[in-house]
A and B are shown apart, each in its own frame.
Chain A
Amino acid sequence: MNPRLDSAPLGVAVRISRIDWDAMSQDEGRRLREFGLMEGIEVTPLHRGSLFSRDPLALSVGRMQVIIRARQAAMIEVAPTAP
């Protein structure tokens, strides 16, 4: 199985290779797209959780930073960025 965004190491840029749109609600999917999270886009996971929780995940998309939950990040497949 391809690596997913929820387990991607922090601080390393990755490219979104596939998003499982069917696994999420329509609203979730739309908000992801509004945040600019789509196939082919480069993102960098920055911060993950606090104290006892692995939720949520902050990542940078372009010049923007967004927060999503690990559950959504698990629906996003990522690949290393092209060298």
Chain B
Amino acid sequence: MTAAIPTIALVGNPNAGKSSLFNALTGARQKIANYPGVTVERKAGHASFADGRPMSLVDLPGSYSLTPASPDEAVTRDVLLGRQAGERQPDALVVVVDAANLDNHLCFALELIALGRPTVVALNMLDLATRDGLTLDPAILSRELGVPVVPTVAVRKRGLADLLAAVDGAILSHQTQASAPSAPPPSDAALHQRARAIARAATVSETPVRRWTGRVDAIVLHPVAGFLILLALMFVMFQGVYAWSEAPIGWIEGGIAALQGAVDAALPDGFLRGLIIEGILGGVGSVIVFLPQILILFLFILLLEATGYMTRAAFLMDGIMAKVGLSGRGFIPLLSSFACAVPGIMATRAIPDAKDRLTTILIAPLMTCSARLPVYTLIIGAFIPNSNVGGSPVGLQGLVLFGLYLSGIVGALVVALVLRRTVAKGTAAGFMMEMPRYQWPRLRDVAIALWQRAWIFLRRAGTIIFVTTIALWLLLSYPTVPTDSSESQVDYSVAGRIASGLEVVVAPIGFNHDIALALIPAMAAREVAVSALATANAIEAGDDEEAMAQSLSERLQGRWSIATALAFLAWFVFAPQCISTIAITKRETNGWKWPLFMVGYLFALAYAAAGITYWTAVAFGLG
């Protein structure tokens, strides 16, 4: 008997409702980290037995068997066998099975029970099984499996107390009797046969299934109509990201301006005031304003996933993605990358084929992430006339934005095609996926996931972006330009001199000193380009009242040609300017080779795209 807090592992097939059960048991008391050395998420949390004794819970990645097919599944096996570094072998297992899918889920359950650890089966989503016309007898199931079976409906928190009591009992009785030596593992076919036999025995009555799901799928998966529905959903999603975020963005901007005003009034003019107002509040504030857009986009993605639609979207997109050597599985990571490539690249873990996954990681940064929006918005607002195209209701500014999104997507498809024929050559990617039933999304699960995404973003804004903005502000402010010099403060500063060096390289593609200056700190994150332009602008304007009164876009109009502005936009379609993306790519590919390759090819594309745009524009007289 150990005095340590017992560790209980939740384990089961994908789509068994494991995460909901984990959320129901632990509430918000969760910690997400990574297993050391691998890039698989470790979800852990705490709960307590009825008498108050604590336990720790681990939510293991969903698997089909103990023979792993992906890095996720390998972790599940290693933890269960006590082979995972830094992780204790669990004291008890809660095997989560979908009540409506026993034939299949019992296979893995039988494998797990054969491990001989204290085990309880959670017969989950019993309500959905009942809705599907299935009546089960948990007592028969328990007798056949030889372990306790507890019916649960995780999303309604039903059966949780019984489940924990059963776990407690299983641990206790396990200590009093030696576990039976496990028999040699049966073959797949034998396992399936036994699973089906047990499922049949436990089934009291059954009516034909999925009438409702089938009727919805007939429309949603229709070769033409389904595709149009998917396009419409995407359209609504992106429309929502812009339209619904306007008000909250206004509040955040107002809040930051109010803070700046308060600091301005409270502190005397000097180093500290400048640092706080221009450096910290201005710089970090210009990034936090994207929080509403990111949250809206993630809300859509989480809802589509929770309802089961995302797999349908993957089905519809698989044909197209197969043509460039990818699979429908890649659609979900790529869609997430429109919010941010970091969670997108993390989501590629679900892709079993290594080459397919690598290609998806390498093209994920080409999806127009929300960090590009501030850059696009600023430049489009300043240089593209706010008029309609030839009397139609289509706005020119919107059209340019759409074109930038489209360039990213087309670029990604072409790059994928090339990569799959060169560095990521392999057999045609497979696409095998279980299609979950439709479900009502659970507010609570969506809220927890959304909060986790928001927190990751805010932490990023609070660290990387915070530090780079302050560093840039210091480099721009020092050394102070002598009063008798004709040079501007920005040109005279350390940052200005570095930019002059870089300008030599980027001058051929139409980039001026302003841009060279903004590109360096924007390596940390693309959106910093905007705050860098703003900071440099504020410092340069100094006490000049007239210059201060001009907005950033007005000042840019006076200093950049349209050709330069267009080249700048083209640059940002491709440029890999995001430390977080590079870092996550290193982590996910276990080394520097692929992140360096990614940075190299994207910069080359960015340079070429900006150059071609600039030279073409100049040829048309826009220089």
Residue positions of A touching B, CB distance < 8 A: 25, 27-28, 30-36, 38, 46-56, 58, 60-69, 71-72
Contact = CB atoms under 8 A, between A and B. Distances in A.
15 contacts: A30-B69, A31-B64, A31-B69, A33-B192, A38-B192, A46-B217, A46-B221, A48-B223, A50-B317, A55-B318, A55-B431, A56-B431, A58-B435, A64-B434, A68-B432
B362 to A, nearest CB: 22
Contacts of A58: 217, 221, 315, 435
B192 A66 contact: no
Contacts of A54: 319
Contact of B432 (A28, A53, A62, A63): A28
A49 B428 CA distance: 17
A27 B353 CA distance: 10
B104 A52 contact: no
Given A30-B188, A31-B64, A35-B104, A66 B319 contact: no
Q: Is the interface of B mostly helix, strand, loop or mixed?
A: helix
A56 B221 CA distance: 11
B322 A72 contact: no
B434 A50 contact: no
Contact of B430 (A50, A52, A69): A69
B204 interface: no
A81 to B, nearest CB: 15
Interface string B300-311: 000000000001
A30 B103 CA distance: 16
Contact of A55 (B210, B319, B434): B319
B192 A55 contact: no
Contact of B434 (A30, A49, A66): A66
Interface string B311-328: 100111111101100001
B433 interface: yes
Contact of B322 (A27, A55, A68): A55
B217 A50 contact: no
What range describes how many residues of B lie at the interface? 35 or more
Contacts of A61: 104
A65 B217 CA distance: 11
Contacts of B69: 27, 30-31
B91 interface: no
Closest 10 CB pairs of A and B: A53-B319, A34-B64, A65-B435, A47-B221, A62-B103, A33-B188, A50-B316, A67-B433, A56-B318, A50-B223
Contacts of B428: 71
B549 interface: no
A31 B13 CA distance: 12
Contacts of A62: 101, 103-104, 196
B601 interface: no
A63 B352 CA distance: 24
Nearest to A60: B210
Contacts of B132: 63
Nearest to B206: A63
B435 A52 contact: no
Contact of A32 (B100, B223, B432): B432
Given A63-B210, A67-B431, 9 more contacts: A33-B189, A33-B192, A34-B104, A46-B221, A50-B221, A50-B224, A61-B104, A62-B101, A69-B432
A29 B398 CA distance: 48
Contacts of B427: 25
Contacts of A30: 65, 67, 69, 188
Given A34-B107, A35-B434, A69-B431, A64 B319 contact: no
Nearest to B189: A38
Contacts of A67: 311, 314-315, 318, 328, 431-435
B194 to A, nearest CB: 13
Nearest to A65: B435
Interface string B52-95: 00000000000011010100000000000000000000000000
B243 interface: no
